Amino acid sequence: MADITDIKAILYTEKSLSLQEDGTVVIQTSTRMTKNRLKEVLKEYFGFTPLKVNSMRVLGKVKRFKGIQGKRNDFKKFYVQLPEGAQLESVGA
């Protein structure tokens, strides 16, 4: 079962910063996190229920390093619409 340690980071990119102005936060998690479990984690640890949650599964890229082929880890991105006045503090393990 997923918990707070499955949240890896809050993403701060050009797109996510423009979304934060409208109250949407982008969260990177492990692949086993679900929308419902993320809602439970946010309610339990941060004290609010998100208005809306959209998810996206991102597959890891295949890369080469000194001729050896490897693969980056897969992850999920969640676009979380925060209620008025809610804020996320530091997150992660």
Instruction: Write the CATH number for 41.
Output: 3.30.70.330
Residue range 64-74, pLDDT digits in tens: 999 999 999 99
pLDDT 10s digits, 27-40? 999 999 999 999 99
Residue 59 forms part of a structural domain: yes
Give a yes or no: residue 89 inside a domain: no
- Confirm whether pTM is higher than 0.75: yes
pLDDT computed for residue 26 by the predictor: 95
For residue 87, being part of any structural domain is answered with no
Gap between the Cα atoms of 38 and 7, Å rounded: 9
Residue 44 lies in a domain: yes
Per the structure, the complete domain to which residue 20 belongs is given by 4-81
Backbone angles phi, psi at 22, to 5 degrees: -95, 5
Q: Is residue 18 part of a domain?
A: yes
Helix (H) / strand (E) containing 81: strand 75-81
Beta carbons within 8 Å of 75's beta carbon, 6+ residues apart? 8, 28, 29, 30, 31, 58, 60
Q: Is residue 88 part of a domain?
A: no
Residue 49 DSSP class = -
If one counts the domains in the chain, the total is 1
How far apart are alpha carbons 50 and 36 in whole angstroms? 10
Element (H, E) at 17: helix 14-20
pLDDT < 70 positions in the chain: 1-2, 89-93
What is the pLDDT, as a whole number, of residue 14? Answer: 95
